[in-house]
Amino acid sequence: MMQVSKTFKTLLQLIILCFSLQSFALSETEKQEGAVSTKEEVNEYILHHIKDSHDFHLFSYTNDEGERKHIGFPLPVMVWSNNGLVTFMSSEFHHDDNGEVIVERKGSKFVKLHSKIYELKAGASSVEFDEEHHAANAHKVLDFSITKSVFGVLLVGLFMLWAFSSLARQYKNKSVPTGFGRVLEPLVLYVRDEISRPNIGEKHYRKFTGYLLTVFFFIWILNLLGLTPFGFNVTGQLAVTACLAIFTLVIYTVSGNKDYWKHILWMPGVPVFVKPVLAIIELAGALIIKPFSLLVRLFANISAGHIVVMSLIAIMFTLKETLGVAGATALSFILAFFITLIEVLVAFLQAYIFTMLSALFIGMAVAEHDHEHHHDEEGHEIPDAEDVRADFI
């Protein structure tokens, strides 16, 4: 009981720290160019917070001379241009007289517009915009850069490698887990016994438990990392959630047995003229709808959580003239604090849902239907209750 109380107290302190640092970051933005009091300025800051970037920005401040200082570190930029692969650090971007972010490398000029990197056409010295404010004399490049989200993925990957390697060594030595292993062990057992085994089945669950453990902890840790004021929003990036969904898609598609594909391509127990129609519907569900639901659910919930928390923090600036500084700050703190508590739960819940659905889809693909078929008076096969339930799911 004392251990639980101590853990809750520590979690509460971390949430308050995260909220305070996020508030500080927004207040520094307010000092940059006057008060952040308009809807457009708040929206711009929030959208900037949830976007990916080519550098790691921690916070900014204005010194005594009135100069704006940015604290952070650059990340490697790797793009494929007309002259092949070009690499440089994101700190090499500079502002020219026209306010455009341009860097020259290997005879090519690169410009960064709205966090996207473009290559200027030959002979161009600056960007020309069309009526829709699109770059008319530049084209996008293939971007393989180590962005902030990629950095977060690598960071969490290394952490998981260290944590689970340590736990595996303790199991190998047949010793009781100690240290951080005590935190990991009940979660590992939970994923194995409550998610993998009941949904995939006793015969096949061991084969897929490794993937389910990886995806559960990967999503959960990244979700928690997104609650810190460092600007991580990895699971709120559509490309990341799409990759995770594709991994699940490939696994249950490759692992599907003949019963699985028979139910998809030639549904038993239905009239022949209906089977092609059902095959199209089932294929769309297996190859498009299932992975799409996985990627959109995770992306939408995490992004929405970030937007809500940052919007509530912004109350202290947008309503300070109406409610006063103390009133706006108190209202902002109370609302944002409790939403952040809920987001801690959502971080776990979204990892659980993604893992549970992945296990369910894999279990449906590898399930074996060893049963006796019955026929009616005219000789047509009658599907039993298990078939009906499987087809319904």
Q: pLDDT tier at 23 (50, 70, 90 boundaries)?
A: very low
Angle at the Cα of 138 from the Cα atoms of 148 and 142, rounded to 5 degrees = 40
Q: pLDDT tier at 386 (50, 70, 90 boundaries)?
A: very low
Q: Is residue 129 a part of any domain in this protein?
A: yes
Residues 195, 301, single domain; the answer is yes
Residues 230, 110, single domain; the answer is no
Q: Is residue 11 a part of any domain in this protein?
A: no
Residues 176, 114, single domain; the answer is no
Of 259-263, 311-315, 326-330, the range with the highest mean pLDDT is: 259-263
Number of domains in the chain: 2
Q: Is residue 46 a part of any domain in this protein?
A: no
Q: Is residue 226 a part of any domain in this protein?
A: yes
Q: Is residue 29 a part of any domain in this protein?
A: no
Q: Which residue, 129, 145, 161, sits at the end of a domain?
A: 145
Among 155-159, 177-181, 296-300, 323-327, where is mean pLDDT lowest? 323-327
Residues 238, 358, single domain; the answer is yes
> What are 75-129's pLDDT values in tens digits?
999 999 888 899 988 888 765 444 567 788 887 888 887 778 888 887 777 777 7
| Structural domain for 120, as ranges | 76-145
Chain-wide mean pLDDT for the chain? 79
pLDDT at site 34: 42
Residues 282, 197, single domain; the answer is yes
Question: Is the pLDDT score of 384 beyond 50?
Answer: no
Residues 141, 198, single domain; the answer is no
Residue (of 98, 91, 168, 104) closest to 129 by Cα position: 98
Residues 185, 110, single domain; the answer is no
Residues 227, 322, single domain; the answer is yes
Give the residue with greater pLDDT, 3 vs 255: 255
Percent of the chain with pLDDT over 90: 33
Residues 242, 367, single domain; the answer is yes
Of 43-52, 113-122, 265-274, 318-327, the range with the highest mean pLDDT is: 265-274
E strand or H helix at 201: none
Q: Which residue, 120, 145, 170, sits at the end of a domain?
A: 145
**Interval 272-297 mean pLDDT:** 92
Q: Is residue 66 a part of any domain in this protein?
A: no
Give the residue with greater pLDDT, 36 vs 265: 265
The answer to whether 363 and 199 are in contact (CB under 8 A) is: yes
Residues 163, 139, single domain; the answer is no
Residues 164, 138, single domain; the answer is no
Query: How many CB atoms within 10 Å of residue 350?
Result: 22
Residues 129, 160, single domain; the answer is no
Q: Which residue, 102, 125, 145, sits at the end of a domain?
A: 145
**Burial class (CB within 10 angstroms; exposed 0-12, middle 13-18, buried 19+) of 255:** middle
Q: pLDDT tier at 219 (50, 70, 90 boundaries)?
A: very high
**pTM: predicted TM-score of the whole model, two decimal places:** 0.80
Q: Is residue 2 a part of any domain in this protein?
A: no
Q: pLDDT tier at 310 (50, 70, 90 boundaries)?
A: confident
**Interval 180-203 mean pLDDT:** 90
Residue (of 137, 150, 158, 134) closest to 52 by Cα position: 150
Tokens for 134, please give them: 């699109």
Q: Is residue 87 a part of any domain in this protein?
A: yes
